[in-house]
Amino acid sequence: MTDYMILFPADREDEWDGATQEERQAVYENDYEFGRLLEQRGGRMTGGAELSSAKKAHAIRRGPNGTALVTDGPYAESAEQLSGFYVVTIEDEQALLDAAQVLVRAHHAVEIRPIESQGDD
């Protein structure tokens, strides 16, 4: 079995911030459908979370002479930030890709990355 991180880039946080409870519930139900499809294909969710607005983020960067600089706001200086993620385990990558297609009904984009194994050193 392989672990994957499913990332939700969000370029319009203001849309989510202004969403009604019904609109948010529709997204949650869509994500639940993904979980159901994933399980049908032999996979499972092992973690995940909705992330707060990037406006609430802090970044710590290496400054001059290796000192730590703490700033408000996200590390990435772009309009696109992460709005959430899932960690899933599944053997068949194509089955994951098939199940994940339902996610774009409620999310602008979905990025899927294998998680590198740390081994048993």
Q: Does residue 121 lie within any of the structural domains? A: no
| CATH code for position 70 | 3.30.70.1060
Q: Does residue 12 lie within any of the structural domains? A: yes
Q: Does residue 120 lie within any of the structural domains? A: no
**CA–CA separation, 106 vs 121, rounded Å?**
40
Q: Does residue 94 lie within any of the structural domains? A: yes
Q: Does residue 88 lie within any of the structural domains? A: yes
Q: Does residue 50 lie within any of the structural domains? A: yes
Residue range of the domain that includes 6: 2-114
Structural domains counted in the chain: 1
**CA–CA separation, 23 vs 70, rounded Å?**
35
pTM strictly above 0.85: no
112 phi/psi in degrees, rounded to 5: -120, 125
56-110 pLDDT per residue, tens: 877 788 888 889 888 776 655 555 578 889 999 999 999 999 999 999 999 988 9
